[in-house]
Amino acid sequence: MFHRTKIRLVALNTVVFSIVLCTFGIILYLYMNHLVYANTDTKLYSIAKGIQQEGIDGIIREHDSKREAERKVVYLLWDESENFIKSIPENAVFSVDIADFSPSRFQDKKIWTQTIHKHVYRILKIHTDPFYLKESNTKSVRTIELVLNTDPEAALLQNLLKLIILGCVVGLNISFLAGLFLAKRSLVPIQQSWEKQTQFAADASHELRTPLSVIQTYLELLFRHPQYTIEQESVTIYKVLQEVKRMNKLVSDLLTLAKTDSNQLLIQRQQFPIGELASTIVHQFEPIAELRNISIIQDIESNLIYVGDKERIHQLLVILMDNSMKYNVEGGTIRVTCKKEGNFIMIIIEDTGIGISNEDLPHIFDRFYRSDKSRSRSEGGTGLGLSIAKWITEAHNGEIKIWSELHKKTRVSIKLPL
């Protein structure tokens, strides 16, 4: 799937880049073409104007006085019926080429470029009132062509064109390679998150299947003794209920995570005393703690006002308290701290429980990750608690950290900006 996307991305990139490059090349060429010929055209037009004002003789005199090195305009004179009369200077054009300069060839254009035997000429055609040349009284001049050899300009433009084509080809190759590199790089996070999502779906269905098959087994067990009373089957029914509860929790956790993934879950901020909330939750856990002989120490500052989503902070504290209770040992302690530190609210929940090994610690926030699957499952855990806790903390722009020493203690700290 990603291979095809990559190819498509590279192709799209190359096509877009080639269009941009070609357009740029064409514009550059046309602009240079205009610039180069604008010079010669101005020169030709100014001569044409001179001819129309002063007649051809003055222009030719001026022409002859020009230095040898200067590029000279050649004048081709034609009569009414487009017969060649003469060229100035004489013999400037080979007689075999004369037909190619015939004014009838480009009737409508006043100025044009003509390539004749590999030489490029810029030609301006003007019609004048008929006049006779001193030396030939037979033919009257009707059309004058001003011819300027533009070989240097043509060579310049040709070189430019070659350069542009080369630039385009090199640019395309670079854009293809760069596109390939960029597509590879930009697809990596997408691929990773896709794999994560696929893994999540697979894990979720697996986790859902387990309680379902347990429920099925117990229900089938009930059918074996239809004559038994509910009281006699109470153990089996209790186990089914446990699994249903577990599934209920799992589904609601999954729903929460799915909503966070699609950014549907919003934080509803309100002012509330966070210390009191923490105390209430601790209070709720006290009966279970007593049963397990776990003591809870509170170090909670009262009158701490926090602006955040009360429901979510409640959920966060329950997840953490639940963990420190579940993964604690007989006679252990839990210490709950909630205080203000500078511009932050610090919530720390420490327990003297089983701890987390260094290998497990980096994965602890991963969905469905449990260091001891059998223990967590027997405690009703699904491995989603800390993923949700992380999301809640980050949604409040906070930070969650876990330190732990295996078989000794675990300390979860949450830093929430005020």
Ligand X SMILES: Nc1ncnc2c1ncn2[C@@H]1O[C@H](COP(=O)(O)OP(=O)(O)OP(=O)(O)O)[C@@H](O)[C@H]1O
Stretch near ligand X under the rule CB under 6 A, chosen from 89-97, 115-123, 176-184, 352-360: 352-360
Tell whether residue 370 is a contact of ligand X (CB under 6 A): yes
Largest CA-CA distance found in the chain, in angstroms, rounded: 141
Among residues 257, 385, 389, 414, the one that binds Mg ion under rule CB under 5 A? 385
324 binds ligand X (CB under 6 A): yes
Q: Which stretch binds Mg ion (CB under 5 A): 35-43, 211-219, 348-356, 379-387?
A: 379-387
CB 413 within 8 A of CB 347: yes
Q: Is 175 in the site for ligand X (CB under 6 A)?
A: no
Q: Is 87 left (phi over 0), alpha (psi -120 to 50) or beta?
A: beta
49 vs 143: CA distance, rounded Å: 14
Structure tokens at 12: 């799209």
Q: Which residues 6+ apart lie within 8 Å of 45 measured at CB?
A: 111, 124
CB of 311 vs ligand X, minimal distance in Å: 17
Rule CB under 6 A: choose which of 364, 400, 414, 416 binds ligand X.
364
Q: Which does 410 bind (CB under 5 to 8 A by kind): Mg ion, ligand X, none?
A: ligand X
Closer residue to ligand X (CB): 84 or 391: 391
Interface of this chain with Mg ion, residues 274 to 333, rule: CB under 5 A: 323
Distances (CA, A) of 372 to 204, 244, 323, 334: 18, 22, 13, 20
Give the 3-state DSSP-derived string for 107-138, with helices as H, strands as E and coil as C: CCCCEEEEEECCEEEEEEEEEEEEEECCCCCC
**Paired sense of beta strands 333-341 and 295-300, if any:** parallel
Distance of CA 169 to the CA centre of its chain: 25
Return the residues of window 192-251 that contact ligand X according to CB under 6 A.
Answer: none
Count of alpha carbons within 13 angstroms of residue 16, beta-carbon side: 7
Could you tell me how many residues of this chain bind ligand X (CB under 6 A)? 23
- Specify the residue, 323 or 328, whose C-beta has the smaller distance to Mg ion: 323
Q: Residue 167 Cβ, how far from ligand X at the closest point, in Å?
A: 57
Which pair of tokens denotes residue 85?
Answer: 């009369």
Count of chain residues binding Mg ion (CB under 5 A) = 2
- Binder of residue 14, out of Mg ion, ligand X, none (CB less than 5 to 8 A by kind): none
Q: Does 398 bind Mg ion (CB under 5 A)?
A: no
Q: Residues in the site for ligand X, rule: CB under 6 A?
A: 253, 319, 323-324, 327, 351, 353-356, 364, 369-372, 376, 381-386, 410
Q: Residues in the site for Mg ion, rule: CB under 5 A?
A: 323, 385
